[in-house]
Chain A
């Protein structure tokens, strides 16, 4: 016995290479790509989306792994959260591994992908602040060939995905530098971020890069706070900071992300969010420098 009347068998294509996938999308402009389906199928099931056809990306093995290219890691868009959470990946890009481990329950991590997380561009997408802090770029495959752009351009909609284009790879510079990702959900079980912070201490460029997720539609970079704290670090020495400096950094980041509105008192929810961002940023910096 089945619950629902069988849906008219949707037109599903399962290409086994990127080229085939791009061709399939060119053939059927109304088709929608689907990777793990953890975002897409929720919209389909609730009736928000009725795709005329689907192009499944799950069989494209070239985007399910990663490779090295000139001091960077080239991550396939089809990497699952579960794969990114494993120790070998964590040794490579610890902050992204931490984000992946915190993304939803195990069932979701087994199916959900990096590409889907970026394409969905949800404010609570856990990979997004990490990619912003690492200054990653995305490689898009389309009918007119590949192009590469900073992930922030894609997320902010400055340079969106064009029709027929697929997210193929994510390029992340390999920094031999401490990086952290911290997420607050308000609960112990898996949950969407109330706020998250990704932070990199990059001695090569003498930079601290910090990105705050979930408090705005896209990850926020508190550039002034980054520069201020980078100026306090003795890059040639111990690279430690006094606890007060970490606390001040946290406050700085929080105030930048949840600014005061002139003339009005911050509502209690905003005060709590600011407190949370401050604690996360302080902890993230403390751990990166530890």
Chain B
């Protein structure tokens, strides 16, 4: 894979560099953990160690749905080396927990609702002993018929006391009687993408002398995880501390409470440190996946291809527990028509409970699934009207000032047309030189069976959108502290560095504001004030905003005495490279000299304006910010074997402002590659509720050979005035948009409907015409 950023423009210029270590906003400041990560010395949770630690193992349900008749732990308890066995009977605090709704038991007691649900946990002096002991726990099940078809969940026996319907949003916008001259219908399905973090879940729990416990885990939302843990342990929140270790990959809410909670319980029970490292299988079984989704659409347009009405039914499969499903549904419903102007929109959205693997927050949730569907519809309309697929999209693009189907006015920059134009007008990648087949990486791979004669090239477009920050009234606050001492600044903020680059951004902000290059960002834990989850671009916005404010407060504290002494205002002083100078050059001193050994501290918060919950008809100002992206996919398809190779993805994105061109390019590449995985190969299969082949052979991820050339053709830098620095977070929207673009390109190459993700080879085969 290679990435090309095209100039001219600020990005190209800054990438070229002017020599010297880059620093400050807009510069390609490298991340400090890049080198230790590349060298394999960066510590992750699985690397933790404590003297005298015990090993935990979790017993998980082999059935997707069963009644538990009896649990007998006596054989396990009697095994030499076993120090504790815990079940639902040993949970001192709340038996139920959950991120939004407390509907999930710590350990299943009367029923199991999904394959892999935790039932008991063991601590022993050796990992093998723990595993064997877990296997020795006798559980008598009365197996029940699993509900695995979300369409049948409505009428099925309730799987949970809360019922099977987790949320229903009937969005109504405009006139239900409106009709268009052309109508197209489609049925779309999106599979179950797993976040598949490169490092599986792991953790260490250490009991504290005060009766509390410390959890060392790769949490992406330490305070929420702490609160859930404290409630389950029956402890006050301040007696549980979550310490964030290196995060080996996160696509949303990382970490599985089915691991953190048993770990803490076992540490409290035994008084010893307890460590757990999930196998890849357990990782697949335990954590939350992307919602498998079924979508039915009907698009109405006039004869010129202008959208008149969109009707949709969107059904999300939540698995057994609610988790973040209601958020995913809100995004799916609100963005069901995409970044297009549609006068009349009617969407029925449901998210239901089943006995399938649990779904939750995975980057771009809700928005990804609908993007695949509404873009499929746009291609259908184009075909029906004989219009170019880019042209029909261009005739309908949303812009600032337009209304979303939720009734919310788009107030932020929405340069959708400009993005589409950029990818449409970009040069197409050259066709391979027919004579030299070795230069042509055919679908099917390096020494695969590809045959140039059977390869068709296709080009497809997609436009995607996501919201930034939590929606529907979430309190998206973050707090940060900045300290300066001895010419070095320190940032204390519980915003977790998940690989998204927050610590680098925090350093850049402080470098920019305080003019010092040496900035450290301390590791996160729950002794710090909360910063909220690392999701939905929050930390770029609220934690970045809090760091900026705190740094500015320190700046004022630093400069105020100086300004007063020289009778000028603080605004007339600048700090750069550790030096303070006045506008007229008369005053020139250093930061160190001005500090004179003192330490300056400031703590600040950033809290964006509040939002509303979507009402009974799906209306409300639910979102703080929006961001958009256009992707043009070029694919080669072997139409006999159905093998697809994505040749190139051209991306144009609405970024507000480029804060770090190096990180930005990396985030876009990572996002489109994750999108490619969803488009072509990633689907955790669970026929009849049983997860099949939960390993990285059965669940292939894109490799370097699968990943296409990613061409960032345009970054639109129109500042979002309500966001710190005017910047928009960049990670999620490429994930949302690229699968739909790839599907569109395969559609163009094969003429097949391609209404299902991932695209299976049989869906990309062109059958020979029947004679």
Contacts and interface: CB of A to CB of B under 8 A. Distances in A.
Contacts of B447: 98, 101-102, 183
A186 B705 contact: no
B445 A188 contact: yes
Nearest to B48: A1
Interface stretch (B184-192, B401-409, B422-430, B639-647): B639-647
B30 interface: no
B443 A188 contact: yes
A51 B59 CA distance: 25
Contact of A184 (B449, B645, B706, B760): B449
A189 B642 CA distance: 15
A117 interface: no
Contacts of A276: 641-642, 761
Interface in B424-466: 441, 443-449, 451, 454
B705 A189 contact: yes
B131 interface: yes
Interface in A132-161: none
Given A185-B444, A187-B700, A5 B762 contact: no
Given A1-B49, A188-B443, A182 B706 contact: no
Contacts of B641: 184, 186, 276, 279-280
Contacts of A47: 128, 131
A163 interface: no
B703 interface: yes
B437 to A, nearest CB: 12
Among A101, A185, A187, A197, chain B packs the most CB atoms within 10 A around the CB of A187
A282 B617 CA distance: 58
Nearest to A276: B641
Contact of B704 (A2, A189, A192): A189
A4 B705 contact: no
Interface in A90-112: 98, 101-102, 105
B762 A272 contact: yes
B681 interface: yes
Interface in A244-276: 268-269, 271-272, 275-276
B705 A275 contact: no
B279 A3 contact: no
Contact of A190 (B126, B705, B765): B705
A45 B703 CA distance: 23
Nearest to A284: B449
A4 B127 CA distance: 8
B643 A186 contact: yes
Nearest to A280: B449
Interface SS of chain B: loop
Interface string B638-658: 001111110000000000000
A153 B102 CA distance: 60
A101 B445 CA distance: 11
A127 to B, nearest CB: 13
B348 to A, nearest CB: 30
Contacts of A46: 279, 281
A180 B448 CA distance: 11
A276 B681 CA distance: 18
Interface in B688-731: 697, 700, 702-706
A183 B705 CA distance: 16
A126 B765 CA distance: 24
B47 interface: yes
B680 interface: yes
A2 B761 CA distance: 43
Interface string B27-52: 00000000000000001001111000
A1 to B, nearest CB: 5
A191 interface: yes
B371 interface: no
B697 A183 contact: no
A4 B640 CA distance: 48
B451 A102 contact: no
B640 A279 contact: yes
A279 B48 CA distance: 52
Contacts of B55: 5
B277 interface: yes
B217 to A, nearest CB: 15
Contacts of A185: 444-445, 448, 643
Interface in B278-298: 279, 281
Contact of B448 (A1, A102, A105): A102
Given A46-B279, A47-B128, A184-B643, A189 B703 contact: yes
Contacts of A271: 762
Contacts of A268: 762
Contacts of A5: 55, 126-127
B761 A188 contact: no
A235 B281 CA distance: 54
A186 B697 contact: no
Contact of A183 (B449, B454, B762, B765): B449
Contacts of A272: 642, 761-762, 765
Contacts of A191: 445, 700
Contacts of B762: 268-269, 271-272, 275
A93 B563 CA distance: 82
B449 A187 contact: no
Nearest to A197: B449
A182 B448 contact: yes
B649 to A, nearest CB: 14
Contacts of A190: 445, 703, 705
Contacts of A102: 445-448
A283 B455 CA distance: 13
Contacts of B681: 186-187
B621 to A, nearest CB: 43
Interface in A159-216: 182-192, 194, 197
A280 to B, nearest CB: 5
A184 B444 contact: yes
Nearest to A196: B449
A168 to B, nearest CB: 28
Contacts of A279: 449, 454, 640-641
Contacts of A187: 444-445, 643, 680-681, 700, 706
Given A46-B279, A268-B762, A189 B448 contact: no
B47 A188 contact: no
A188 B441 contact: yes
A199 B644 CA distance: 25
Interface in A22-67: 46-47
B40 to A, nearest CB: 12
Nearest to B53: A5
Given A184-B641, A188-B705, A190-B705, A101 B446 contact: yes
B449 A2 contact: no
A287 B48 CA distance: 55
6 contacts: A46-B281, A184-B444, A187-B680, A188-B706, A189-B705, A189-B706
Given A4-B277, A186-B681, 9 more contacts: A102-B447, A105-B703, A186-B760, A187-B643, A188-B448, A188-B645, A189-B445, A272-B642, A280-B449
Give the 3 A-B CB pairs with smallest separation, nearest first.
Answer: A189-B703, A182-B449, A189-B705
